[in-house]
Chain A
Amino acid sequence: MKDAKHQEPAGKAGKWTIPGYGLLQGLFVSGRNMVESYYKKERCPVIQYPEEKADISPNFRNFPFLCYDGDRPETGLRCTACGICEKECPPQCIYIVMDRDENGKAKKRPKVFDIDISVCMNCGICAEVCPFDSIYMDGQYEMATDDRFEKLVLGLDRLAKSTDYHMQLRPKEATAVMEKRKAAEEKKKAAAAARAAKAKAAAEKKAKEAKEQAEKNADDAKGGTE
């Protein structure tokens, strides 16, 4: 055999085989597969889909969802309706309307948040750009409906999902996000405390100065009368 790339056939020089031995080996392999498929899971790894479902990987991503803290999406929604995802979305499937009070002041939460999943291309850019850890890619894949229009536009009611759901879907990512948010909160609290302390100190200093001034004035007045 000149070419080393060739796989050597079973019956090489000096190594004799019986005709039909390879066939029997093949029969043995297929027979073992057949018998073991009845009692070994790895020999019959079929998942019978509608009844059984495969565990999805944390890397699996499908249409986006919105995360909320606490129990109620009305109060705990992380989304501030900043509109970054709406602007970044390449197929422009996100539609956001800011919620405003009667004076026209932004309440920093969405009144309408729609995602048209017939347009969405599952790129995940919205989840990447969100600065408020609000929008993430979902793990749902049973999205078929009998309606092309209304049922393929997901509103807040279908988009809002709890942090628990996120934790269940992607534990690693969700834990990191929770820690980050906690740290940020603590930092904020610490900063607020520091600011309060500073303000207090400033107030004290001011009071002290005022007192000193008053004393000085009093002294001056005294001296003046002498």
Chain B
Amino acid sequence: MMLGNVEFEMAWLAPEQWPRLPQHLVEWLVALCGLPEWLVSIAGWFTSAGVVVGVFMGLFALLSLIERKTLARVQNRYGPNRAGWFGILQPVADGIKMLTKEDIVPAKADWLLHLLGPVLIVIPSILALGVIPYGQDWVPVPLELGLVFFFAVGAMTEIAVFVAGWASGSKFPMLGAMRAISQMVSYELPLIISALAVVMMSGTLSLPEIVESQGGYTLGFLPQWNLFTPWGLSAGVVFFIACIAEANRCPFDLPEGESEIVAGHMTEYSGFKYALFFIGEYLGLFAISALGITLFLGGWQSPLPIFDFLPSWLWFFAKLAVVIFIFLWIRATFPRVRIDQLMRFAWLCLIPIALLSLPTAAIWHYANKANNDIVAWIATMPLVLIPWVVLTVLFNRRLSPATTRTYHFAE
């Protein structure tokens, strides 16, 4: 359809294309004004980025409410229900409160780095969200090396945490930042190694292609997601646990262990800078969950062939909701672990299991080449089960009376 001198395609209005509709409209409008081609592209990029940021900021506001509601329900309460219908305006109230609070910069703080800390936390999360394939046709930035980019910008949050802790100029932020760094660096390893197994199997670092490699159904109804393979199961579990630690979620939310180090690197922050830390944390949670969905849960692929008529981005967000809910559920259930337990768990438990998933993936690859699923399962299951058997033995030995630690002074 021609409107003016520029093409307006009716295909843009299909449900599959809805997330891209603002971009198409802006590009069309800018082109309609007769502006040059490069300006049209730039306008399109900004709109595309704005859609991602807008969607995830909205989800952040929603999640801050849903999280409180869910935690409340687990604790047999109602949760916030005063601001608006079912507390729907609670995020607005929180935002106004945060914005109108006094911004205090400590006298001993380095004011520039103190300001940069929270900003640097939010930026990598937004950057990381840019490379995720949300739908069949909705990849904001279809990078060839999307996974590498994701982990590269993800590592920036560690620097931001340290900047925040260092610039605050007091001891609790400093200690908290060091703890946060040691935790995040330790958990980055199992995270990346378990993602490596997926890269080995799909043979690409491009996230859209990884999702496409998980398409199709076994026996016509079982989705061929990476989670439903032996190597994917072990790598997926490791990835999920490392995700929790990377996103600083309970039970690994040591950086903000208020009983030990007040609020960690956020101790000296107030007002909107403090809110920025939360935005960064939640956006990071979204980003890392989105990556987990992309790598192990088939991204935007629908779970059953009969649901293929629904737009693909809807499936992505449905999976995101489920994963986030599991995060909330875990937060509502488990107490915080100790720092030494946390580090031991990463280095002695998660990293070996993650490493073992690499040979498992290799064996699966070659066994699968013979097009025999049963042989592949039999060949790989021992490798998957060995760490769990070892863990079970160790776990029970540790708990046995001979090795149980007795507390002499804590009676």
Contacts and interface: CB of A to CB of B under 8 A. Distances in A.
A217 interface: no
A2 B334 contact: no
A17 B330 contact: no
B329 to A, nearest CB: 6
A37 interface: yes
Interface string A38-71: 1000011110100000000000000000000000
Contacts of B330: 27
B399 A10 contact: yes
Given A16-B396, A23-B334, A43 B404 contact: no
B37 interface: no
Given A1-B401, A11-B395, A11-B396, A46 B77 contact: yes
B76 A44 contact: yes
B341 to A, nearest CB: 13
Given A33-B76, A46-B78, A1 B334 contact: no
In this complex, the interface size class of chain B, counting residues with CB under 8 Å from chain A, is 20 to 34
Interface in B45-84: 70, 73-78, 81
A5 B332 CA distance: 30
Interface string B394-407: 01100111101010
A33 B396 contact: no
A contact patch SS: loop
A10 B404 CA distance: 11
A27 B333 contact: yes
Interface string A9-32: 111110011110001001101110
Contact of B329 (A17, A18, A27): A27
B392 interface: yes
Contacts of B395: 11, 17, 19
A30 B406 contact: no
A111 to B, nearest CB: 47
B332 A9 contact: no
Contacts of A5: 411
Nearest to A2: B406
In this complex, the interface size class of chain A, counting residues with CB under 8 Å from chain B, is 20 to 34
B399 A34 contact: no
A30 B77 contact: no
A222 interface: no
Contacts of B81: 48
A3 interface: yes
B381 interface: no
A38 B77 CA distance: 10
Interface string B356-392: 0000000000000000000000000000000010011
A148 interface: no
A3 to B, nearest CB: 7
Nearest to B326: A27
A6 interface: yes
9 contacts: A9-B399, A13-B400, A13-B401, A16-B392, A19-B395, A30-B74, A34-B70, A34-B73, A37-B73
Given A5-B411, A34-B332, A45-B76, 8 more contacts: A13-B402, A17-B396, A17-B399, A26-B334, A34-B70, A34-B74, A37-B74, A46-B76
